[in-house]
Amino acid sequence: AISFMAACQPKKREIIFPKTDLSKTALIPKPLKTVPTNSAFGLSKNTVIYTSGSKYEQVGLFLSEKVKSKTDLDISVNTNNGEVSADRHIYITESDSVDLKTPESYQLYIKKDSIFLNAKTAAGAFRGIQTLRQLIPNKSNDTLTDHPLWLIPTGKIFDEPKFEYRGAMLDVARHFFTVDEVKKYVDILAYYKYNVLHLHLSDDQGWRIEIKSWPKLTQIGGATEVGGGAGGYYTQDDYRELVEYAAQRHMIIIPEIDTPGHTNAASLSYPILNGNGKTVKSYTGTRVGFSTFDTRKDTVYSFLDDVIREIASLSPGPYFHIGGDESHVTRKRDYIHFVEKVEKIVQKHNKQMMGWNEIAQGNISASTVTQLWNEPHNALKAAKNGSKIVLSPGEKTYLDMKYDSLSKYGLDWAGLIPVDVAYKWNPETYVEGLSTESILGIEAPLWSETISNIEELEYLAFPRAIGYAELGWSSSENCNWEGYRKRLAMHVSFLNRMNVNYYPTKLVDWE
């Protein structure tokens, strides 16, 4: 006997999908392992997303929003709104499978009528969602059935990051970038599985974050920038908004207050901090290395205690970056005294210190993270002491270096960095003697001496930042320039849809 339910179920007509190949899709970063099964999942108005738990529901809602903007489909999350006859499901599920080795690992099983996305954490699910977004074609197939289907190739994807830290740095001090501009940058970075935005919040030319206990920092120090423009700063509410926006994309913001050099704007606001023996004047040029705090003054440390306390209280992430680079007018012993003292202040506020490679001259603790930009020997010294290293070698990862001699923006002190040079290096072997276990990850800094708005930012950042995303996430066996440049060519539609002013290098045959 046939049950009432079964008898009333409309019979699903078997659709014959065109042959697909999941392993030949243009995913960036390239997943660890892909097994194609050559059929398709038809994303349509009849698709519904189901998620486990409220954190996963946020991820589901994010997917639904992105599906809407790409296809105009309204896909509901955890409700079947009655109007649709849901016959295709996307399940986003927490899993404790041992195959999920890191918090950001995920597995994607794409079948003809369901997609299963499994992850240990919402962050892992979020990374998997980015993969799924990239698999949704730009155009629907309108001939297979009576409604449009966006055909996603079937198969399995097993994926995990190579490095736990995949960062981009933005210098908002040399030129200020608004909250909306930073959000747009975060959106694009998140699509490529970045998980860190490092904000360079202070430098000689400007101070960019409100500190309630030292208000002149933004009143005076916030009012200048390179070239004499108006500058600007984030209120603490603005900063909270950015932190929250990034958190929704499972990214952290690392605040950097650059010290003891690169401090002209702070000393202009409060001359008592100054230690270079000269009268402080506002500075809107692009020289480096002329300013320093007075490292023997107690006020400098009570100032930093206030600044770090206020910023740490706005920062859910584990790190506080103290800069530490190019302190050319600080005596070496004063510099070391300073770094060691400030490390204790950062730790007192429950953060791990981070600093540019010069900090390793001091006796820093193993929990402090050293960011390599130009001195492998200092990175090696820190690693030997148990510290983790973030790799940002100038000649490979500096987004502010020109692509070629004709580049409209950028500097060239670390060389020209065309799109292939940016991609063709292996972080795991870049520093001789530095073991993979010591490498926390990679970060691409964008210094802003030559750029002052989002179009100029995008011109320098893209497409190079997309390559660093792959170098940071994909296994080195999966990083291959010929394969990458072909996949990158297919990303124009995303970049155009996002209105990104990328540099259309001739090294890529853009679609």
Q: Is 50 left (phi over 0), alpha (psi -120 to 50) or beta?
A: beta
Site string for ligand TNX, 303-342 (x = CB under 6 A): ----------------------xx----------------
CA angle (315, 320, 326) in 5-degree steps: 145
288 binds ligand TNX (CB under 6 A): yes
In degrees rounded to 5, what are phi and psi of residue 315? -115, 105
Q: Which is nearer to ligand TNX, 34 or 205 (CB)?
A: 205
Q: Which is nearer to ligand TNX, 307 or 401 (CB)?
A: 401
Strands (E), 74-195: 76-77, 88-94, 106-110, 114-119, 150-159, 165-171
Catalytic, out of 326, 343, 443, 470: 326
- Would you say 416 and 401 are in contact if contact means Cβ atoms under 8 Å apart? yes
Q: Which is nearer to ligand TNX, 398 or 473 (CB)?
A: 398
Q: Which of 192, 207, 425, 447 lies at the binding interface for ligand TNX (CB under 6 A)?
A: 447
Report in angstroms how near the CB of residue 289 gets to ligand TNX at its nearest: 8
Q: Which is nearer to ligand TNX, 48 or 460 (CB)?
A: 460
What secondary structure letter does DSSP report for 29? S
Q: Which is nearer to ligand TNX, 132 or 322 (CB)?
A: 322
Q: Which of 234, 373, 462, 468 lies at the binding interface for ligand TNX (CB under 6 A)?
A: 373
Using a 10 angstrom Cβ sphere, with 0-12 exposed, 13-18 middle and 19 or more buried, the burial of residue 311 is buried
- Would you say 119 and 94 are in contact if contact means Cβ atoms under 8 Å apart? yes
Active site residue 326: yes
Between the alpha carbon of residue 344 and those of residues 204, 259, 306, the distances in Å are 24, 15, 13
CA 24 centroid distance within chain: 26
Report in angstroms how near the CB of residue 172 gets to ligand TNX at its nearest: 12
Instruction: Give one DSSP letter per residue of 310-340, joined into a string.
Output: HHHHH--SSEEEEE----TTS-HHHHHHHHH
Structure tokens at 377: 């020997």
- Calpha distance 450→238 (Å, rounded): 25
- If one counts every other C-beta atom within 10 angstroms of the C-beta of residue 5, the result is 7
Task: List the interface residues with ligand TNX, window 449-468 (CB under 6 A).
Answer: 449
Helices (H), 12-141: 53-71, 122-135
How many residues form the binding site for ligand TNX (CB under 6 A)? 10
176 binds ligand TNX (CB under 6 A): no
Structure tokens at 34: 């892909």
104 binds ligand TNX (CB under 6 A): no
Report in angstroms how near the CB of residue 415 gets to ligand TNX at its nearest: 11
Looking only at the bridges linking them, the beta strands covering 352-356 and 106-110 are: unpaired
Q: Which of 356, 403, 473, 484 lies at the binding interface for ligand TNX (CB under 6 A)?
A: 356
Report in angstroms how near the CB of residue 74 gets to ligand TNX at its nearest: 46
204 binds ligand TNX (CB under 6 A): no
Amino acid at 156: K
Q: Which is nearer to ligand TNX, 320 or 398 (CB)?
A: 398
Q: Which of 159, 310, 400, 443 lies at the binding interface for ligand TNX (CB under 6 A)?
A: 400
Binding site for ligand TNX (CB under 6 A): 288, 325-326, 356, 373, 398, 400, 411, 447, 449
What positions carry a catalytic annotation?
Answer: 326
